[in-house]
Amino acid sequence: MLVELAALADKYQVFAAADFFQKTALRTKALEKIWIHPAKALKHRPVLRPELLKEILDFNFLCIEDAAIVQVLRGWGIKEDLLQPLVEALEARVQATIFEFQPARKPGEYSENLLFNLWSRYCKAGERGAFLGYCVVVTLGPQQADMLSDRSLTEIGRSGNIGGLCQGWIKWELPHSHVFVMDLGFSCKITSAVSFQILCSEDGDAWHLAHESKGQDIAASVALPCKLPLGWVKCFKVQVLAGQMPAYKCCLRIRGIFQTD
């Protein structure tokens, strides 16, 4: 992929060019790369329109502490250009939070596998308290209620394992986290005989169809073609319409930037 081949030093040019030529997928990948590696990607002052810089410096998604982003902005120096008022406003906003003892913004955290990441953090903290019910809430559809044990629920919550799921659905809710989804996939190969949907929601009420199978085989660990929401997501649902998911290690993978309350 072009963005993966481009050095971080060229990230502004990739983003600006993709924006100019309306290459949405490439534009998104370039923006994500900057959000994930801001300390390296933002080392040099960009030559961009102010509205593009404002989008890049969306504090919700930057994986960097406030104090560190101030140092980045100061490292750009001072220039009499269209970006300078925006740079000064952003720096003032962060400084106000620091010096007025307001609650610090929690930086975004990038994850290749969100559910596994939440489980790993729980384990590193000594497995204190409850994982299910606090970190993740798993809800089963009516057809699945008699098929699974409490132990199975923990496995579903920590790994997204939906092995053997037939007609029906499983839902994951993140009570104290939210995620900007970059892509979705499965750890196993899924044949064309399985018809399914992946849905996501900001509040568990209004659902957004992110992916629907099209009667084709799906390779393991590939990013599915998705129509993803542009903001935070707290709930995910896999719904099997026909067929059955592979029985062994068929895990939902959620890649994105997340924050925890």
Tokens found for residue 132: 């299910």
Beta bridge mates, 186: 252
Residues with Cβ within 8 Å of 163's Cβ and at least 6 positions away in sequence, in order, are: 188, 245, 246, 247, 248, 249, 250, 251
Rounded distance between C-alpha atoms, residue 224 and residue 186, angstroms: 9
Rounded distance between C-alpha atoms, residue 249 and residue 251, angstroms: 6
pLDDT in tens, 165-202: 999 999 999 999 999 999 999 999 999 999 999 999 99
Tokens found for residue 114: 């969100």
Question: Do 75 and 39 meet the contact criterion of CB atoms below 8 Å apart?
Answer: no
Radius of gyration over alpha carbons of the chain, in Å? Answer: 21
Rounded distance between C-alpha atoms, residue 44 and residue 229, angstroms: 30
Instruction: Please name the residue that has the structure tokens 């900007």.
Output: 180
- Continuous H helices in 142-192: 150-159
Rounded distance between C-alpha atoms, residue 64 and residue 39, angstroms: 7
Residue 9: what pLDDT? 46
Beta bridge mates, 181: 256
Mean model confidence pLDDT for the chain? 87
Question: Do 220 and 71 meet the contact criterion of CB atoms below 8 Å apart?
Answer: no
pLDDT in tens, 229-254: 778 999 999 999 999 999 888 999 99
pLDDT in tens, 111-147: 999 999 999 999 999 999 999 999 999 999 988 877 6
Residue 4: what pLDDT? 42
What secondary structure, in 3-state letters, does 110-140 show? Answer: EECCHHHHHHHHHHHCCCCCCCECCCEEEEE
* Region(s) of the chain under CATH 2.60.120: 109-260
Rounded distance between C-alpha atoms, residue 212 and residue 258, angstroms: 24
Fold classification of 109-260 is Jelly Rolls (2.60.120)
Q: Which amino acid is at 122?
A: Y
Question: Do 107 and 65 meet the contact criterion of CB atoms below 8 Å apart?
Answer: yes
pLDDT in tens, 144-160: 877 666 668 899 999 99
Residue 25: what pLDDT? 77
Min mean pLDDT across 85-99, 164-178, 211-225 is at 85-99
